[in-house]
Amino acid sequence: MSHDFSIEFFALYHASVFEALGEDANKYNIKIGALLATRWLKKMEEVPRNSEDFKKAIESYFSNSFIFSDVAEMTFNDDGTAHLYVKGCDICPGNEILRNMGAKGCCPICQMVKSAMGRTLKKKVELVGSDKPGPVGECYLKYKL
């Protein structure tokens, strides 16, 4: 019998994995994000080469086969920045558990997007932060290209 993971299970699992990694959690979070990007890019028939194509490709992936949130919208700005708006994220509840324990949250999605953008757009990409304007699961991931 097949079933989806419950939000509670996934949150506890995510928090437990990154808690177990201890001081190495951030290093592995970056590596996990890069591996997710590699797997996504290998599946693509045509790799995006500009910001418009990247936006279409990542939003399609996040709304079809790699659904981790209710909303995942990418924007590129004229000032050399990009944002991924996420709402209803399944990873954030696990990060909330980590934060309540005094640890940092670990988001492999922000690292995945950074890695994929850098490789496809052939630019240095820096994750410059995240704003969390609403409830757990809503954020703006901010990048500088």
> Which domains, and CATH codes, for the chain?
7-144 (3.30.1380.20)
Segments of the chain scoring below 50 in pLDDT: none
Q: Side chain identity at 9, as an amino acid letter?
A: F
pTM of the model: 0.92
The two tokens of residue 144 are 């500088």
Residue 54: partners with Cβ closer than 8 Å, 6 or more residues away: 48, 74, 76, 116, 117, 120, 121
Return the pLDDT at 3. Answer: 67
Return the pLDDT at 49. Answer: 93
